[in-house]
Structure 1
Amino acid sequence: MRPIKIDILESRHPVLTGMAAGLVAGLVAAGSDRLLDRLVSTKQKRRDRRVREAPAHQMAGPYFAEKLMGRRLSKPAKKRARAAFSVIYGLGWGLIHSGLRRKFPRLCRYAGLPFAIPFFFACDGVIAPTLGISPNLRRIPWQPSAKEMGNHIAWTAAAEFVHRLAARAR
Structure 2
Amino acid sequence: MVTALTHPLMTVNDYLAWETEQAVKHDFFRGEVFAMTGGTLRHNKATLASAIAFKAHLKGQACEVFSGDVKVAVTVAEHMFYPDVVVTCNTNDLSDLNAAQISAPVLVLEVLSPSTAAYDRGQKFLSLQKLSSLQEYALLDVQAPRLEVHRRNAAGRFELYVFEGADCEAELASIGWRGPVAVLID
TM-score (normalised: structure 2):
0.30
Higher RCO (CA-CA < 8 Å; seq separation 6+)? 1
When Rg is computed on C-alpha atoms for both structures, the one with the higher figure is 1
Q: Whose strand proportion is higher, 1 or 2?
A: 2
Q: Whose helix proportion is higher, 1 or 2?
A: 1
